[in-house]
Amino acid sequence: MQNNIYISNNKQQQITRTGDFFSVLIRVFFLTVMVFMLSHCSNRKAGVDEVDVGETVRDPAEDNDSLIQVTPLVPAAVMTLIQQADEQLSGGGVTDAILTLKRALSISSTSALVQQHLAEAYLADADYKQAMYWSTLVVNQGPDQGSLCERSRRAQALAAELLNEVEIQARALDSIASCSTQQPNRY
């Protein structure tokens, strides 16, 4: 009888050890998954600090001295919302700026200006796929001259670079020059 009890106790110890082993294995697995998830989040936020939309997209386009400048016509309410979104972006409220721009888009759904601001806001938020989507929309449907043309191509090139889309980036960078029409020389 004592042998049976001893064997039974031994089996319980083995089962307990096996259960402890699986418990530790599960904990290690979940810890590893959490480490990978946190490292992904930290990598994503590191990109936010690196992308300065004003410096890489807007500032160079302001110097566009094309003979032809295209200024999109938008309702006053949309311009107010765009200005509000710009203030929110400069204050660090990227999510609020995106929501404000989506409100502007609901008023003027085909506005290349609103779409471009959305692309730049998504770049600032490190959502490069959305930035690529909106900037590509402006490149394909927006003006083909002037500063908005140049901004859209710069935003597309930057989003493509961050998504490792080399061909799209090269096409966007090559097409920046086409946004400018210079006055011919007079003799």
- Say yes or no to pLDDT of 27 above 90: no
Domain map (residue ranges) of the chain: 1-50, 51-179
pLDDT level of residue 48 (50, 70, 90 thresholds): very low
**Local structure of 128: helix, strand or coil:** helix
Rounded CA-CA distance 132/138 in Å is: 10
pLDDT level of residue 40 (50, 70, 90 thresholds): very low
Domain spanning 51-179 has what CATH number? 1.25.40.10
Q: Are 98 and 88 in contact (CB under 8 A)?
A: no
More confident residue, 177 or 73: 177
- Say yes or no to pLDDT of 49 above 50: no
- Say yes or no to pLDDT of 50 above 60: no
Rounded CA-CA distance 150/143 in Å is: 9
Looking at the chain, the whole-number percentage of residues with pLDDT higher than 90 is 36
What is the average pLDDT score of the chain? 76
Most confident of 10-24, 28-42, 70-84: 70-84
Mean pLDDT over 67-84 rounds to: 77
